[in-house]
Chain A
Amino acid sequence: MSAGKIAVDMLVSALRSSTPMAFALCGEILGERAGIVNIGIEGEMLVGAATAFAVTVVTGSPWLGLLAGAGAGLVLSCVHGVLCLFCRTNQIASGVAVLAIGAGCSAYYGTPYVGRQINGFSPISIPGLPAALAEVLRSISPTMVIGLVVPPVLAVFLFMTRTGLRWRAVGEAPASARILGINPNTFRWGAILACGFLAGFGGGALSVDYAKGWSEGMTAGRGLVAMGLVVMTRWNPAWTTPVAMIFGAAESLSLSIQSHGVGVSPYLLSLFPYLAPLVILALHAKFSRRQGHMPASLADILKFSA
Chain B
Amino acid sequence: MKAAPYARRVWPLAAGAASFIAITALLFGHSTPSLAGFFAMLVKGAFGDGYAFSETLVKATPTLWCALAVAVPAQLGLISIGAEGQMYAGAIGGGGLVLLLPHQSSWVLLPLMLACGAAGGAAWASVAGSLKARFGINETVVSMLQNFIAINLLEYLIHGPWMAPNSGNWPQTAEFPSAAVLPPIVSGLRTHVGLFGAVAAAGVLWFIAGKTRWGLSVKVLMSNPKVAGQAGLNHAAYIVGAMAIGGGLAGLGGIMEASAVQNRLESGFLQGYGISGYLVSWLAGHDFRWIVPMSLVMGAILTTADTLQLSAGLPASSAMILQGVLFACILGWTSYARSRR
Contact = CB atoms under 8 A, between A and B. Distances in A.
Nearest to A306: B136
Contacts of B144: 39, 221, 224
Given A108-B315, A224-B141, A306-B136, A271 B149 contact: yes
Interface in B305-341: 314-325, 327-328, 331-333, 335-336, 338-339
A105 B320 CA distance: 8
B183 to A, nearest CB: 33
A265 B138 contact: no
Contact of A285 (B137, B156, B235): B137
Contacts of B333: 87
A11 interface: no
Contacts of A227: 141
A304 B136 contact: yes
B275 A306 contact: no
A271 B152 contact: yes
A306 B141 contact: no
Contacts of B235: 306
A100 B324 contact: yes
Contact of B332 (A83, A268, A282, A291): A83
B279 A100 contact: yes
Interface string B143-164: 0111111001101100110000
A265 B159 contact: yes
A115 B294 CA distance: 38
From DSSP, what is the main secondary structure of chain B's interface residues? helix
Chain A interface residue number, banded: 35 or more
Interface stretch (A63-71, A166-174, A272-280): A272-280
Most chain B beta-carbon contacts within 10 A, residue among A108, A228, A268, A275: A108
A278 B142 contact: yes
A77 B171 CA distance: 37
B43 interface: no
A108 B138 contact: no
Contact of B336 (A88, A92, A220, A290): A88
A100 B335 CA distance: 19
B317 A108 contact: yes
A44 to B, nearest CB: 13
Interface string A214-237: 001000110011011001000000
Query: Which A-B residue pairs are the 3 nearest by beta carbons?
Result: A100-B324, A104-B320, A107-B317
Interface of A: 39, 79, 82-83, 86-90, 92-94, 96-105, 107-108, 111, 216, 220-221, 224-225, 227-228, 231, 265, 267-268, 270-271, 274-275, 277-278, 281-282, 285-286, 290-291, 302-306
Given A103-B320, A267-B153, 4 more contacts: A39-B81, A103-B317, A108-B315, A111-B315
